[in-house]
A and B are shown apart, each in its own frame.
Chain A
Amino acid sequence: MRVAHPTRASLALADGAPLLELTDVKVSYGGIKALKGVDLRVFPGEIVAMIGANGAGKTTTLKSIMGLVPLAGGAVKLAGRPLAQDTTEQRVAEGISLAPEGRAIFPNLTVLENLELGAYLHRDAKAMKETLEDVTELFPRLGERMKQEGGTLSGGEQQMLAIGRALMARPRLLLLDEPSLGIAPKLVQQIFRAIAEIARSGVTILLVEQNTRIALSTSQRAYVLRTGEIALEGDAKELASNPEIQAAYLGG
């Protein structure tokens, strides 16, 4: 798969430096403090998982990275550069791409139109065609349904479409918000195999999940978010055998 190769955003990175770095990120909605100072780092080539219960602030973390919510404090850096001044569009152009929560696809647009919109910021026809081929190879189900309206797809297919659309921007960093939410287990397996393949092609991934088991088995490192704060972090395998995690998130 070539998805990652000709990115528009060629980010200069020093050896061992993180691609994405959040330092003391705070976000409030009115009076509610959704994030109370989150520190997080994602290194190039990694799959990093962020797990946590409903309402912990996972979606808010991703929105803060995309510039979809204002920060009340702290900083988000991409390849060492602060993003504070950048609009969401600029962040997409710089190589960050989000597959939003709840399969937020465009239901009245066809699958093809949805995917084409993913490449909205760089309409180079050849690159777009290549990426489209990559995405249909990754998700053959999408290839078979190009002319169908997005809203007529099954839940799992819509999730594939959301991920495919995010890939169309040829990101360096892919943010996935609960790709397993409300999807049949068999399709969840397929989707996570695809996620692993995307990572192998060179895309760095920050994966937000409530499904702790599959998140920890797919990722290398993980963070546990609890009411707006990082409660635990570490190697995914170690976290999976951590008794506290097992009790709280893996059902004993």
Chain B
Amino acid sequence: MARGQAGKSGGLRWSRLAVGAGVLGVALLCDLYLADFVHDSSIRQLFMLAACNVLVASSLNVINGMAGQFSIGHAGFVGLGGYTSAVIASNLHEMLGGGEPTFARSFIVVPVCLLASATLAGIFGFLVGLPSLRLRGDYLAIVTLGFAEIFRLVIATAQAGEDGSPIARALSRLGGQNGYMGIDNQGIPLYAGPFWVFGLAFVLGVVAWRIKFSGWGRALRALREDEIAAAAVGVDPTRYKVTSFVIAAVGAGVAGGLMAIMRDGTPIVNPDNYNFQASFDAITMVILGGSGSVTGAAIGGVFITFSIKAIEQVQATSAVQALRREFESLDLNALRMIVYALVLVLLMVVRPEGLLGERELFQKRRGGRGGSGPDAPRAGAKAEAA
């Protein structure tokens, strides 16, 4: 039996490698040829945005879904990652001699940017995670919101000019309320093509999946279900809570970095991209898909991205534009929040656990790791015989 299992898991490993290589290959092909097939850049942007939002949702899922805490300031980490990558990409681009952002050069620029984004966001994730040791529920939520708003306001209110402390001067170059548009307002060089965006969405999605079903993820879920019982088996709540914040922040930093330097995206990052509405969208993605479910978060991320786009399309139709001339205050984007709120309320009534609950698509056995533990029926039979 043992050999059969080893053979099976060996085969599994190869097929997994093949799937991974296949996905990366497809991402590479997309990078090279997507523009030839999909001529409309706004559609290309939409697909890549969806992949980024999958990252946003699956990172928030680590805190709100797996760890059972409640962060309502995820956009803060996304923004931190976004600004970091935007600034570094612009400077690196300048150092490399400007010109067109080529695919070859992206292998220098994108990793550097994303590493910096991940690190900075991770550090702030640690700082924001610390209060989670003493605060619970709504109090912790307020801390996370506070962080996100402080981040946004510090950038938005930075005054242009070359006086004041070095920090003030550095901040002033970020463009304040108008947003950051690269060096000399040339625009941020958009280095991250579909290869990076789809590839990373896939790889980090797999990482999230592994986290959930690792011993670490199991301890995290245990902590969420019963803190005393978890402590009683030796799970250290402190370490897990803070680490989950760091992991989520790192994921958000990468997502934000990718969005900021995404090919076919806008060459500008703006503090308003990271307001409370963005955090709320991220929460909606997680809740819609099912808190704790990795595939659910991915579905939520894609769905919200497309529905935002759909609402924009409706907004742009001539009928709505005509209506707008009548009623100036008509803003479908604001209506969107109402629609989401209604969807969420409805979901809470009909299916409170979200689309998938905590379950996963493509999941064969729950948490089954081959060969751990005795064969259940046999153990029972043995005990009866004894």
Residues on A facing B (Cβ under 8 Å): 63, 66, 68, 87-89, 92-93, 97-100, 104-110, 112-113, 115-118, 120-121, 123, 125, 128-129, 132-133, 136-137, 140, 143-147, 149, 162, 165-166, 168-169
Chain B positions 192 through 228: 1 when the CB is less than 8 Å from some CB of chain A, otherwise 0: 0000000000000000000000010011011001101
CA distance A92 to B219 in the complex (A): 15
Contact indicator B380/A109 (Cβ below 8 Å): no
Across the interface, B377 reaches (CB within 8 A) one of A97, A116, A128, A144, namely A144
Do B226 and A106 have beta carbons less than 8 Å apart? Answer: yes
Contact in complex: A120, B380 (CB < 8 Å): no
Residue of B nearest to A101 (CB): B228
**Contacting A105 at CB < 8 Å: which of B218, B229, B231?**
B229
State A15–B113 Cα separation when bound (angstroms).
65
The residue in chain B whose Cβ has the minimal distance to the Cβ of A138 is B383
Decide: B384 and A140 in contact? CB cutoff 8 A.
yes
B349 within 8 A of A: no
Would you call B383 and A143 a contact (CB within 8 A)? yes
Question: Can you list 21 pairs linking A and B with CB atoms under 8 Å apart?
Answer: A68-B232, A87-B236, A88-B231, A104-B229, A105-B226, A105-B229, A107-B225, A112-B367, A113-B218, A116-B218, A117-B218, A117-B235, A121-B233, A136-B376, A143-B379, A144-B376, A145-B376, A147-B366, A147-B376, A165-B233, A169-B234
Question: Which residues of the partner chain A approach B374 to less than 8 Å between Cβ atoms?
Answer: 129, 132-133, 136, 143
| CB-CB nearest in chain B for A119 | B233
Whether B167 sits at the interface, judged by CB under 8 Å, is: no
Cross-chain contact of A110 among B232, B236, B367, B386 (Cβ < 8 A) = B367
Given contacts A89-B234, A104-B228, contact A117 B219 (CB under 8 A): yes
Contact of B232 among A88, A107, A136 (CB under 8 A): A88
Q: Size range of the interface on B?
A: 20 to 34
B residues near A118, Cβ cutoff 8 Å: 233
- Give the chain A neighbours of B166 by CB distance below 8 A: none
Contacts of A165 in B (CB 8 A): 233
- From A104, A108, A117, contact of B358 by CB (8 A): A108
Asked whether any CB of chain A lies closer than 8 Å to the CB of B382, the reply is yes
B221's closest neighbor in chain A, by CB?
A109
- Measured CB to CB, the closest approach of chain B to A93, in angstroms, equals 6
* B225 and A109 form a contact (CB under 8 A): yes
Q: How far is the CA of A104 from the CA of B223 in the complex (A)?
A: 12
Q: Find out whether the CB atom of A129 lies under 8 angstroms from the CB atom of B366.
A: no
Cross-chain contact B383 with A68 (CB below 8 angstroms) = no
In the complex, are the beta carbons of A143 and B232 less than 8 A apart? no
Known: A136-B376, A140-B380, A165-B233. A110 touches B228 (CB 8 A): no
Tell me, rounded to whole Å, the shortest Cβ–Cβ distance linking A170 to chain B. 12
Give Cα A182 to B228, complex, Å: 20
